[in-house]
Amino acid sequence: MPLASLLLSYLLLFYQFLPEGQHLCRLSFTKKVAQSLYKLFVKLKMADVKDVSRQKKYYVKFTKAPFEEDTTHEFKGHRNLSKDDMPWWSMDKKHEKGSRKSVSRNLCGFLNTGMGGTVYCGIVDNGEIHGLKLTQYQRDHIVGAMHDLMSRYSPPVDQRRYKVKFVPVLGASLTEEERLEMSKFDTKEVVNEEERKQPHKYRTPHYCWCDKDMMAQFEHGILISDYVIEYKILPWEPDGEATGGLGSLLNLHPIHADEEGKIYFRRQASLIQAEKRDRPKEVFHCTQRDGTKVSPFQIIFQLLSWLLVIMMCDRKLN
Ligand SMILES: [Zn+2]
DSSP, residue by residue, 282-294: HHHS-B-TTSPBP
Give residue 264's pLDDT. Answer: 94
Amino acid at the residue 207:
Y
**The most confident of 78-92, 148-162, 249-263, by mean pLDDT:** 148-162
Instruction: Mark whether 82 and 30 lie in a shared domain.
Output: no
pLDDT at 16 over 50: no
**Which of 89, 112, 78 shows the shortest CA–CA distance to 271?**
112
Give residue 270's pLDDT. Answer: 85
Distance (Å) from CA 116 to ligand 1 centroid: 27
Q: Going by C-beta distance under 8 Å and a sequence separation of 6 or more, which residues neighbour residue 5? A: 249, 298, 301, 302, 305
| pLDDT tier for residue 274 given thresholds of 50, 70 and 90 | confident
pLDDT > 90: percent of the chain: 42
pLDDT at 273 over 90: no
Mean pLDDT of 118-134: 96
Radius of gyration, alpha carbons of the chain: 24
Q: What is the mean pLDDT of the chain?
A: 77
| pLDDT tier for residue 57 given thresholds of 50, 70 and 90 | confident
Distance (Å) from CA 74 to ligand 1 centroid: 24
What range defines the domain where residue 315 resides?
1-48+294-318
C-alpha to C-alpha distance for 249 and 111, rounded to whole angstroms: 19
pLDDT at 51 over 50: no
Distance (Å) from CA 29 to ligand 1 centroid: 50
Q: How far is CA 141 from the centre of its chain?
A: 19
Give residue 37's pLDDT. Answer: 63
Instruction: Mark whether 71 and 160 lie in a shared domain.
Output: yes
C-alpha to C-alpha distance for 14 and 73, rounded to whole angstroms: 44
Instruction: Mark whether 239 and 188 lie in a shared domain.
Output: yes
Identify whether the C-beta of residue 131 lies closer than 8 Å to the C-beta of residue 227.
yes
Instruction: Mark whether 269 and 300 lie in a shared domain.
Output: no
Give residue 153's pLDDT. Answer: 95
pLDDT at 278 over 70: no
Torsion of CA 118, 122, 123, 129, to 10 degrees: -130
Distance (Å) from CA 137 to ligand 1 centroid: 7
Identify whether the C-beta of residue 175 lies closer than 8 Å to the C-beta of residue 51.
no
Give residue 49's pLDDT. Answer: 40
Give the bridge partners for 293, in sequence order. Answer: 287
pLDDT at 282 over 90: no
State the SS3 of 216-235.
Answer: HHHHCCCCCCEEEEEEEECC
**Which of 98, 200, 99, 188 shows the shortest CA–CA distance to 140?**
200
Q: Going by C-beta distance under 8 Å and a sequence separation of 6 or more, which residues neighbour residue 299? A: 286
Distance (Å) from CA 198 to ligand 1 centroid: 8
| pLDDT tier for residue 77 given thresholds of 50, 70 and 90 | very high
Number of independent structural domains in the chain: 2
Give the bridge partners for 119, in sequence order. Answer: 74, 231
Distance (Å) from CA 212 to ligand 1 centroid: 9
Lowest mean pLDDT among 1-10, 95-104, 171-180: 1-10
pLDDT at 139 over 80: yes
Give residue 5's pLDDT. Answer: 55
pLDDT at 185 over 90: no
Give residue 25's pLDDT. Answer: 43
**Which of 59, 53, 55 shows the shortest CA–CA distance to 171?**
59
Is 300 or 85 the better-scoring residue by pLDDT? 85
Instruction: Mark whether 10 and 89 lie in a shared domain.
Output: no
pLDDT at 47 over 80: no
Instruction: Mark whether 114 and 144 lie in a shared domain.
Output: yes
Identify whether the C-beta of residue 1 lies closer than 8 Å to the C-beta of residue 288.
yes
pTM of the model: 0.68
Tell me the three state secondary structure of residue 264.
Answer: strand
Instruction: Mark whether 38 and 181 lie in a shared domain.
Output: no
Is residue 22 classed exposed, middle or buried when 0-12, 13-18 and 19+ CB atoms within 10 A define those classes?
A: exposed
pLDDT at 215 over 90: yes
Give residue 243's pLDDT. Answer: 52
Distance (Å) from CA 22 to ligand 1 centroid: 59
Distances from the Cα of 157 to the Cα of 64, 71, 75, 163, 236, angstroms: 32, 20, 22, 12, 11
Instruction: Mark whether 31 and 165 lie in a shared domain.
Output: no
Distance (Å) from CA 36 to ligand 1 centroid: 44
Distance (Å) from CA 217 to ligand 1 centroid: 15
**Which of 302, 159, 305 shows the shortest CA–CA distance to 241?**
159
pLDDT at 42 over 60: no
Instruction: Mark whether 87 and 149 lie in a shared domain.
Output: yes
Instruction: Mark whether 300 and 266 lie in a shared domain.
Output: no
Distance (Å) from CA 124 to ligand 1 centroid: 23
Tell me the three state secondary structure of residue 238.
Answer: coil
Distance (Å) from CA 141 to ligand 1 centroid: 5
**The most confident of 2-6, 19-23, 123-127, by mean pLDDT:** 123-127
Instruction: Mark whether 246 and 266 lie in a shared domain.
Output: yes
Give the bridge partners for 133, in sequence order. Answer: 226
Distance (Å) from CA 183 to ligand 1 centroid: 24
C-alpha to C-alpha distance for 85 and 78, rounded to whole angstroms: 11
Instruction: Mark whether 103 and 80 lie in a shared domain.
Output: yes
What's the pLDDT tens digit per position in 234-267? Answer: 998 776 665 555 555 555 778 899 999 999 999 8
Phi, psi at 110, each rounded to 5°: -65, -35
Identify whether the C-beta of residue 30 lies closer than 8 Å to the C-beta of residue 15.
yes
